[in-house]
């Protein structure tokens, strides 16, 4: 390749890099430093979830942006607290409602970390599901830049339940464990009953789901016991056969010895 062609190739490659960078857009500039978010909560209970953001200005051209949040909690209060590099509080804002926006994050204010805390009431379950378990959005955070473009920072979900659904789920878990423990036995009936229990759970028929789960667990335990009994009988029969063969061999040997003695 000549020097002229190489120069043209270099310019073309540089142009492509610039074009691809422009199309890709800026990379998300925020990371989650820590979080304190419950994995599950009972419907109607009040919960608090907290997330702390740092590395707020990874892009040198991004010196300020706007934070927005969303939750499925009800009767919600948001608290956004700003800290500098020493950990000292710079500012604090409060918002009400399931959505908030307009929380300004700016390097010029000395902000190095932002803590977002949301408190509210766990909502009703719209649709129950055994596997995967039904969830709701606890916190969803977005970064909005000047011009309207935005990045999803992170989203946290949690399992929500009622007292009845939790009791039914516990029975289903126990039945499923019994079926898995009886691996190798004939658990077809137990599995079918368990499947019916799951359908009842998903249909919010928790009493029926509990009863069917108990039946499935009993069936699985009986299948395992029957399988173990059958194995013991097989082992016993095998042992008797070995003893019979040994005894028969011994008697045959004795009979042969007696015959030799008479001939002698």
Task: Give the pLDDT confidence of 96-120 residue by residue, as tens digits.
Answer: 999 999 999 999 999 999 999 999 9
Express each pLDDT in 180-205 by its tens digit.
998 878 889 999 999 999 999 999 99
Query: If pLDDT is split at 50, 70 and 90, which confidence band does 208 have?
Result: very high
Beta bridge partners, 66, equal 104, 144
Q: CA–CA separation, 213 vs 105, rounded Å?
A: 52
- Residues with Cβ within 8 Å of residue 135, at least 6 apart in sequence: 157, 158, 159, 160
- pTM for this predicted structure: 0.74
Nearest to 166 by CA among 127, 123, 193, 133: 133
Residue 2 pLDDT > 70: no
Residue 223 pLDDT > 90: no
């Amino acid at each position: 390749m000549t020097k002229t062609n190489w120069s043209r190739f270099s310019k073309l490659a540089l142009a492509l890099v610039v074009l691809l960078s422009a199309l890709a857009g800026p990379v998300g500039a925020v990371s989650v430093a820590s979080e304190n978010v419950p994995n599950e909560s009972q419907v109607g209970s009040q919960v608090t979830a907290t997330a702390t953001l740092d590395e707020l200005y990874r892009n040198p051209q991004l010196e300020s942006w706007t934070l927005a949040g969303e939750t499925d909690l009800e009767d919600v209060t948001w608290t956004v607290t700003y800290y500098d590099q020493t950990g000292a509080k710079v500012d604090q804002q409060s918002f009400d409602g399931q959505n908030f926006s307009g929380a300004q994050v700016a390097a010029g204010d000395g902000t190095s970390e932002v803590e977002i805390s949301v408190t509210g009431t766990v909502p009703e379950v719209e649709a129950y599901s055994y596997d995967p378990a039904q969830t709701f959005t606890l916190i969803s955070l977005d970064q909005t830049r000047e011009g309207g473009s935005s990045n999803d920072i992170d989203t946290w979900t949690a399992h929500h339940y009622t007292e009845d659904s939790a009791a039914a789920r516990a029975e289903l878990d126990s039945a499923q464990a019994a079926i898995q423990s009886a691996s190798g036995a004939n658990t077809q009936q137990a599995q079918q009953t368990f499947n019916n229990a799951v359908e009842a759970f998903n249909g919010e028929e928790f009493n029926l789901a509990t009863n069917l789960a108990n039946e499935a667990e009993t069936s699985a335990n009986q299948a395992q016991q029957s399988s173990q009994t059958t194995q013991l009988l097989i082992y016993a029969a095998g042992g008797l056969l070995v003893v019979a063969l040994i005894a028969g061999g011994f008697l045959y040997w004795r009979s042969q010895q007696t015959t030799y003695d008479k001939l002698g």
